[in-house]
């Protein structure tokens, strides 16, 4: 029984590592491409002293790329900073939503799809962080059958995350605002 549980835990951990790894990689690279405007996104949250905005905006995309690569590489310890960042992002969003500042861009790295803050994004980050718990304990061995299942599940998780992002952005976009004002 323990062998089956360990295998299932490793597959779940692998799914979370692959899915979150891809989320972190794409977000980090997108922020690097938008590095001139990203400090403004960080400042918009109004959570950091002005002196820390630049350094955080410079380090955060690199940290996301490194964490994403480590998760994809099967480094179980990478799940800890990944979950911590997702929880910090969720908290920052929730604080600003609570302040009535849901109109600011989430800074999720999808500049072509500007995304205002929403409860959906907060929940998305909480779910992604929670899914990383099994990855803190086990991931499948690279190249194994279990790894193949984890890869397929992780790709599905990543695509589901992209879908949630797109639907959330569309729900808050100009067409939704226009439709709701009628």
Q: Which pLDDT score is estimated for 128?
A: 97
Q: Which pLDDT score is estimated for 168?
A: 80
Those residues whose C-beta lies under 8 Å from the C-beta of residue 25, and which sit 6 or more positions away, are 64, 65, 68, 69, 72
Q: Phi, psi (5° rounding) for residue 34?
A: -110, 30
Q: Phi, psi (5° rounding) for residue 42?
A: -60, -45
User: Helix H segments across 34-173?
Assistant: 38-44, 50-72, 79-98, 119-131, 145-172
Q: Which pLDDT score is estimated for 84?
A: 98
Whole-angstrom Cα distance, residue 55 to residue 70?
Answer: 22
Those residues whose C-beta lies under 8 Å from the C-beta of residue 58, and which sit 6 or more positions away, are 35
pLDDT of the chain along its 182 residues, tens only?
478 899 999 999 999 999 999 999 999 999 999 899 999 999 999 999 999 999 999 999 999 999 999 999 999 899 999 999 999 999 999 999 999 999 998 888 665 557 889 999 999 999 999 999 999 998 998 889 999 999 999 999 999 999 988 888 787 766 555 555 55
pTM for this predicted structure:
0.89
Q: Which pLDDT score is estimated for 27?
A: 94
């Amino acid at each position: 029984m323990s062998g089956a549980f360990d295998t299932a835990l490793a597959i779940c951990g692998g799914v979370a590592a692959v899915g979150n790894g891809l989320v972190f990689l794409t977000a980090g690279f997108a922020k690097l491409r938008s590095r001139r405007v990203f400090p403004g996104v960080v400042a918009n949250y109004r959570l950091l002293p002005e002196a820390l905005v630049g350094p955080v905006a410079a380090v955060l995309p690199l940290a996301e790329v490194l964490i994403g690569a480590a998760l994809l590489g099967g480094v179980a310890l990478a799940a800890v900073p990944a979950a911590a960042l997702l929880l910090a992002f969720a908290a920052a969003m929730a604080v600003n939503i609570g302040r009535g500042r849901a109109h600011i861009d989430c800074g999720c790295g999808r500049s072509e799809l500007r995304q205002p803050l929403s409860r959906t994004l907060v929940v998305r980050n909480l779910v992604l962080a929670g899914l990383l718990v099994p990855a803190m304990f086990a991931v499948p061995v690279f190249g194994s059958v279990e790894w193949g299942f984890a890869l397929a599940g992780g790709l599905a998780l990543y695509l589901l995350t992209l879908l949630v992002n797109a639907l959330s952005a569309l729900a808050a976009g100009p067409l939704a605002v226009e439709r709701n004002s009628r």
